[in-house]
Amino acid sequence: MPPPEPGLPLDWPESLRAADNGAAIVVLRTHLAVRLRVALSDRTDVSEAQIEDFVQESILRVLSQLDRYAGRSRFLTWATSVAINVAFTELRKKRWQDVSLDALVEAGRHLTEEPLAEEAPSGGDEERTRLLESLREAIALHLTERQRAAIAGELQGLPFDQVVSLLGTNRNAAYKLLHDARLALRRHLIAGGTSAETIRTVFAP
């Protein structure tokens, strides 16, 4: 159990669940506003009005998710992680709002119809080239169109929530879709005699 935060409610969840939670919400709002400004301090595309909106939305999210706080960190740390998720999710959504499901499926198709884009092989890169071809083959053989689309979106930085929305599913199902896809690719490579350690070594940054 982490130490209490000086000057703050000893039991945040209880204070926020109480019928007279107004004072606790005011304190929480003040702290989240300060902390979100720090979290977003290197972003030049965020206005003060947006931060206020993020704080408001974060308060609602914290109140609705109080049962998820397990007490293993300070409450404000947990609430800050919720607020950061609210803000970053919204900012990502704006950047990618014009991507369509067709574009996502098309990007997934690229993964199988041509060699995976890589630097031109030079001396000693034969193993890398072989692994890439094996990976492309595994994507074509073992993944569904939805899995290819989800992987393409993830690799290109499409927000996970948007992948979920474009595929018309929910977060858990989409996460399982991606996880199953990665497992299938891994099993294919291992069945071909390539260990996970070899993959890591060959593609180390």
Partner 1 sequence: MNPLSPQQVRDLARFVALTRDRELNCSECRDAAGELAERRLAGLPLDTTLERVEHHLQLCPECTEEFRALERVLREST
Contact set with partner 1 (CB under 8 A):
2, 35, 38-41, 68, 70, 72-74, 77-78, 80-82, 84-85, 88, 92, 99, 103-104, 106-107, 110-111, 114, 116-119, 131-132, 135, 151-153, 155-160, 171-172, 175, 179, 182-183, 185-186, 189, 196-197, 199-200, 202-203, 205
**Closest approach of Cβ 135 to partner 1, in Å?**
7
Q: Of the two residues 16 and 152, which places its CB atom closer to partner 1 in the complex?
A: 152
Shortest distance, position 149 Cβ to partner 1, whole Å: 10
**Cα-based angle 113, 181, 143 (whole degrees, multiple of 5):** 40
Eight-class DSSP state of 120: P
Minimum CB separation of residue 110 from partner 1 in Å reads 5
DSSP 50-86: HHHHHHHHHHHHHHHTGGG--SSS-HHHHHHHHHHHH
Residue pair 141/188 in contact (Cβ under 8 Å)? The answer is: yes
**What is the smallest separation between the CB atom of 49 and partner 1, expressed in angstroms?**
20
**Two tokens, residue 190:** 């291992």
**Which value, in Å, is the radius of gyration of the alpha carbons in the chain?**
22
For residues 85 and 104, give the distance between their C-alpha atoms in angstroms, rounded to a whole number: 24
- Least distance to partner 1, CB of residue 26, Å: 19
Pick the closer one to partner 1 by CB: 22 or 123: 123
CA distances from 182 to 24, 78, 177 (A): 44, 30, 9
Instruction: State the CB neighbour count (10 A cutoff) for residue 29.
Output: 15
CA distances in angstroms from 197 to 45, 136, 202, listed in the order given: 40, 19, 9
Is the Cβ of residue 19 or residue 179 nearer to partner 1 in the bound state? 179
Cβ closer to partner 1: 19 or 204?
204
Q: Which CB sits closer to partner 1, 23 or 183?
A: 183
Q: Please, which residue, 20 or 197, has the CB nearer to partner 1?
A: 197
- Distance in Å, CB of 36 to partner 1, minimum: 8
